[in-house]
Amino acid sequence: MEYKVNDVIYVTIASVTPYGAFVNAENGYTGLIHISEITGKYIKDISKYFKIGNIVEVVVIGIDEEKRQLSLSTKGIMPVTDIQNELVEDEIGFENLIDKLPGWINETKKEIEKDSN
């Protein structure tokens, strides 16, 4: 198979490091999904996203034909996983902020009045 930039392909995770996941693709190609190409969110632990043997859908963002290596990305492709949901879910929501906002405004007004006297 000949790869082109922007191709969407499936690869198998071969190893996971603190800076990315190395993969095996078809026809002897290997690749790297760099930590910055996994998601637009902060990633503390890549192993929560990838496990050795996982088959992952990726986008080809770079090709070194001589070395048969691919630069890959999952941004925009990777479905929201339970791990990602854990990162964004919190017990404090906007409703709690709305409840607290009037008190914060009053405190700020008092501080401004105190400073201007």
Residue 31 banded pLDDT, cuts 50, 70, 90: very high
Is residue 97, in this structure, part of any structural domain at all?
A: no
pLDDT band at 5 (very low <50, low <70, confident <90, very high): very high
- Asked if residue 54 belongs to a domain, the reply is yes
Residue 86, domain extent: 8-91
- Greater pLDDT, 105 or 68: 68
Single pTM value for the model: 0.65
Q: Which CATH number characterizes residue 30's domain? A: 2.40.50.140
Nearest to 52 by CA among 22, 78, 27: 22
- How many structural domains is the chain composed of? 1
State yes or no: pLDDT of 22 exceeds 60: yes
Residue 106 in any domain: the answer is: no
Which single residue is written with the structure tokens 């709690």? 96
Across 91-95, average pLDDT: 51
Average pLDDT over residues 52-60: 94
